[in-house]
Amino acid sequence: MSSPTPGPTPRPPVDALDCRILLLLLHEPGIGVLGASRRLGVARGTVQARLDRLQRTGVLRSMAPDVDPAALGYPVTAFCTLEIRQGRGGHSPVVEHLAAIPEVLEAHTITGSGDVLIRIVGRDNADLQRVIDRVVDDEHVTRASTVISLATRLDHRTVPLVEHLLDLARGGTAP
DSSP run (H or E) holding 34: helix 32-40
158 is a site residue for a copy of itself (CB under 8 A) = yes
Span 128-157, contacts to a copy of itself by CB under 8 A: 147-157
DSSP run (H or E) holding 43: none
35 is a site residue for a copy of itself (CB under 8 A) = no
Span 110-129, contacts to a copy of itself by CB under 8 A: 110-112, 115-118, 121, 126
The dihedral region occupied by 32, where left means phi > 0, alpha psi between -120 and 50, and beta the remainder, is left
Residues contacting DNA: total by CB under 7 A? 14
44 binds, among a copy of itself, DNA, none (CB under 5 to 8 A by kind): DNA
116 binds, among a copy of itself, DNA, none (CB under 5 to 8 A by kind): a copy of itself
Instruction: Tell me how far apart the alpha carbons of residues 165 and 167 are, in angstroms, rounded to a whole number.
Output: 5
144 binds, among a copy of itself, DNA, none (CB under 5 to 8 A by kind): none
Span 26-45, contacts to DNA by CB under 7 A: 30, 32-35, 42-45
Q: Which of the 8 DSSP states describes residue 14? A: S
49 is a site residue for DNA (CB under 7 A) = yes
The binder of a copy of itself chosen from 65, 87, 89, 175 (CB under 8 A): 65
17 is a site residue for DNA (CB under 7 A) = yes
CA angle 145, 81, 143 (to 5 degrees): 55
Nearest CA-CA partner of 20 in 38, 4, 2: 38
Residue type, 66: D
